[in-house]
A = this chain, B = another copy of it.
Amino acid sequence: MSTENYTVVIKVGGGEGIDPTMLSKEIAELTEAGTRVVLVHGGSHDTNVLAEALGYPAQTIKSPSGHESRRTDRKTLEIFMMAYCGSVNKTIVEDLRRHGVDSVGLSGIDAGIWVGQRKGAIRAIEDGRTVLIRDDLSGRVESVNGDFIEYLLSTGKVPVLTPPAVTPDGIAINVDADRAAAATAVAIGADELLLLSNVSGLYLDHHDPESLIEQVDADSLDEARSAAKGRMKNKVLAAEEALTGGVSRVVIGSAGVDRPIEYARVQNGGTVFSHGVTA
Using CB atoms and an 8 Å cutoff, list the residues of chain A in contact with chain B: 50, 53-55, 78, 81-87, 89-91, 93-100, 102-107, 109-112, 148, 151, 155, 157, 164, 166, 169-172
Contacts and interface: CB of A to CB of B under 8 A. Distances in A.
Contacts of A169: 98
Contacts of A102: 111-112
Most buried by B among A55, A107, A157, A170: A170
16 contacts: A50-B82, A82-B82, A85-B90, A90-B172, A93-B109, A94-B166, A94-B170, A94-B172, A95-B170, A97-B166, A97-B170, A99-B170, A100-B170, A102-B111, A103-B111, A151-B151
Contacts of A99: 170
Nearest to A86: B86
Contacts of A103: 110-111
A105 B98 contact: no
Contact of A83 (B86, B95, B112, B155): B86
Contact of A87 (B53, B82, B111): B82
Nearest to A147: B155
Contacts of A97: 109, 112, 166, 170
A2 to B, nearest CB: 27
Secondary structure class of chain A's binding surface, majority of residues: helix
Contacts of A91: 78, 81
Nearest to A157: B111
Contact of A90 (B81, B87, B151): B81
Question: Which 5 A-B pairs have CB atoms at the shortest separation, nearest pair first?
Answer: A86-B86, A98-B170, A97-B170, A82-B86, A82-B82
A50 B105 CA distance: 22
A130 to B, nearest CB: 31
Given A90-B85, A170-B95, A106 B107 contact: no
Contacts of A82: 50, 82-83, 86-87
A175 to B, nearest CB: 14
A171 B90 CA distance: 11
A111 B152 CA distance: 9
Given A78-B91, A98-B170, 9 more contacts: A81-B87, A81-B91, A85-B86, A90-B109, A90-B164, A94-B109, A97-B166, A102-B112, A105-B110
Contact of A110 (B50, B93, B112, B155): B93
A112 B103 CA distance: 8
